[in-house]
Each structure stands twice: as C-alpha cells, then as structure tokens.
Amino acid sequence: MIRLYYKLQIYSILTLAVVIILFTFTQCDPPKEASETDRFETELQTFNNRMNNIGQSMEILDAMQNELDEVEKLRAEGRIDDAEFNTRSNEIKDTYGRAMARQKNTAPVSGLPQWARELGLSEPVGLILDQEFSQVTSANNADEGFNSVLLVYLGNYNTAMQEAQRIASAARVPLSKDFLEAKEITELYSSTPIKGVAYMNFDPFLKDAPINISITVDETGMLTISAVNVEQMSRQFERSRPTGN
C-alpha cells in the first residue's frame, strides 16, 4: 500500500523529469555542411553534452529519492507525524523539481498549443500557471522534432480536483489503473483517504498510447497536464542517433 501511495504522490514529478530528460535528446543537431572530421567531432561533443545533461538529471532524481526515503524512514519510526511528512516531502519535491526545470530552461509557456486542444484538452479555471515548471516542444522545430507539452498549475486543492475531473472527462482520459488500485487498497486498510488523483490514457513504463496524456493532482493541489506524441518522439530519436560510416 505504501509503495502504491508513494508512486501516486510522485507521478507529477516523474512526468516532469521524463519530459526534461527527453528535451536533452532533442537539442543541438550538427551542421548539415561539414567535413567528416568536423561532423564527427561535433557529434561527439553533442553526445557528450547529452550524456552530461542526463547524468545531471539522474543525479538530481537520485538525491531527491534519498531525501524522500529519509523522511519516509522518520515517519515509519514515529519521529514525525503524517502532517510533517507531507510538508517535508512536498518541499523536497518542489526544490528538486525546480532544479531540474532550471537545468534545461526553454522558452516561456503561455498555455496549451493548438494540437493539444484538438485532443480535447483545456486549461483549468481558477489556478495559476507555473511557467518555471512548464515545458513545450514542437514537431515544427527541427531541433525538437515532436509535440509535447507539460503545464503545471498551482492553487486550491478542491479547485484543482474539480478542474482535473472536468478536463479529463472532456478529453476522455480515464483514471489511472495504479491510482484505482492504490485507492482501493487504502480504503480497505487505512483510515486516511488518498489525496490527489491521476488520469492517464496509458500505463507508465508499460504501454503507450499514440499520444500519452496524463492529468494529475497531488496532495498540495498542484495540477499537471502532460501530453507527448510518442510516435513522433520515437522517430525523432531514430533521426538523432549518430550513424556509423
């Protein structure tokens, strides 16, 4: 039960982390006109930069995980209560999440792009867009090559829950299987109900949809809307792979 509940809590930060790591794969293509030697050196430098970015992202995730584990240990030992655990874990996720967002800063995002609206997605009412966390890529940008958007909104918890339900219903995005499982187990074995919600049209790390969509709310009221065209992304990865001669 704890594992399922914890997994639900970090859906938003994992979504952000995955998208930021994807950004590191889609930057700085080598010039089209160059000698073989120059092209090799450019591709090598680009590859090294990408690996460094991914390494830094993974280091941030590892550090965040270690701190969350320590806080979970304190709660398990009875040294802090649930309220203190929630406060500390939220501060940790916010701190490390913003560190990852700043690591790969992109152009400010003002809202949903048109292709995302055509999926039936809309923006929440009564919440504030957090531009530092929000990210977008475009298939029309040769350096990015695929459509993706991650919008993060802050505000009242109840408003976020209502808006998430409305947005998910309009876009026909169902409740996550993991969320439903965690909710069911919590209702059977715990007197404390789960806070937050997760709507997803795919199974994380198991099965993709043509466009992965998730709408999540965490226990603080942070609402996250994510959509990634995984077919375009796969093609872009293939194009960006160094080719041997």
Quick one: pLDDT at residue 21? 43
CA 198, 166, 213 angle in degrees (round to 5)? 45
Amino acid 226 reads S
Quick one: pLDDT at residue 92? 82
**Which DSSP category does 31 fall into?**
P
Cβ atoms within 10 Å of 226's Cβ, excluding its own: 24
Residue pointed to by tokens 């010039």: 31
**Which DSSP category does 144 fall into?**
T
For the chain, residues with pLDDT lower than 50 are 1-33, 44, 46-51, 53-54, 245
CB 86 within 8 A of CB 46: no
Quick one: pLDDT at residue 47? 46
The C-alpha atoms of residue 113 and residue 121 are separated, in whole angstroms, by 10
The C-alpha atoms of residue 218 and residue 154 are separated, in whole angstroms, by 10
| Element holding 189 (H helix, E strand) | helix 177-189
Quick one: pLDDT at residue 199? 95
Model confidence pLDDT, tens digit, residues 123-162: 999 999 988 778 888 888 887 888 889 899 999 999 999 9
Quick one: pLDDT at residue 85? 87
CA proximity to 225, closest of 173, 152, 171: 152
